[in-house]
Amino acid sequence: MRKTLALCMLFFLGNSNASGQWLGTFAFESGYSDNMFNSASRAEGLSTDYTLMYGFFPDDAHWAVNYSGAITTFNRYPDRLFSTHVLASSVVFPYGEYDANNISILASGSFRVDKAEYDLYDYQQALLSAALKQYMLPSLLGQLSYQARVRQYPHFDDLGYLEHLVQISGVSFFDTRTSIRLHAEFGFKKYLSTSVSVLPQVHGGISGTNSSLSAENGGNGHGYGQQGNSNPRRGSTGAMGSGRSMEYLLYDEANTSQARLMLNIGQGLNDDIGIALRALRRWNLSDRGRTFVGGAVEFFGEEELFDDPYGYESSELSLTVTYLLPWSMRMQVSGAASLKNYGYPATLDYDTPGVDERSDMRSGAWMNLSKRVAGKWLLFTGLDLTLRYSWIRNQSNSAWFDYSANALSFGLSTDF
Among 19-33, 143-157, 315-329, 335-349, the minimum mean pLDDT is found in 335-349
- Residue range 191-217, pLDDT digits in tens: 887 654 433 333 333 222 322 222 222
Gap between the Cα atoms of 14 and 19, Å rounded: 14
Whole-number pLDDT of residue 242: 34
| Contact in structure between 204 and 241 (CB atoms under 8 Å) | yes
Gap between the Cα atoms of 48 and 70, Å rounded: 10
Q: Is the pLDDT higher at 95 or at 391?
A: 391
Annotate 30-78 with three-state secondary structure: EEEECCCCCCCCCCCEEEEEEEEEEEEEECCCCEEEEEEEEEEEECCCH
CB contact set of 205 (below 8 Å; sequence gap of 6+): 117, 240, 241, 242, 244, 298
- Residue range 83-107, pLDDT digits in tens: 999 999 999 999 887 668 999 999 9
State the DSSP string of 136-159: EETTEEEEEEEEEEEEE-TT-GGG
Gap between the Cα atoms of 109 and 125, Å rounded: 6
CB contact set of 185 (below 8 Å; sequence gap of 6+): 165, 166, 167, 168, 259, 260
| Average pLDDT value for residue range 344-358 | 73
Whole-number pLDDT of residue 292: 58
Q: How many CB atoms lie within 10 A of CB 140?
A: 12
Burial 91-119 (b: 16+ CB within 10 A, else e): bbeeeeeeeebeebbbbbbbbbebeebbb
Gap between the Cα atoms of 66 and 86, Å rounded: 8
**CATH number of residue 247's parent domain:** 2.40.160.50
| Average pLDDT value for residue range 292-296 | 51
Gap between the Cα atoms of 77 and 38, Å rounded: 15
Burial 43-52 (b: 16+ CB within 10 A, else e): bebebbbebe
Q: How many CB atoms lie within 10 A of CB 90?
A: 19
| pLDDT band at residue 42 using 50, 70 and 90 as cut-offs | confident
Whole-number pLDDT of residue 156: 76
Among 125-129, 139-143, 212-216, 262-266, the minimum mean pLDDT is found in 212-216
What backbone phi and psi angles, to 5 degrees, belong to 281?
A: -130, 135
H or E stretch covering 305: helix 303-306
Which one, of 98, 180, 105, lies nearest residue 141 by Cα? 180
| pLDDT band at residue 369 using 50, 70 and 90 as cut-offs | very high
Whole-number pLDDT of residue 288: 63
Gap between the Cα atoms of 106 and 151, Å rounded: 17
Domain count for the chain, please give it: 1
| Domain range enclosing 115 | 2-415
State the DSSP string of 331-354: EEEEEEEEEEEEEEETT--TTSTT
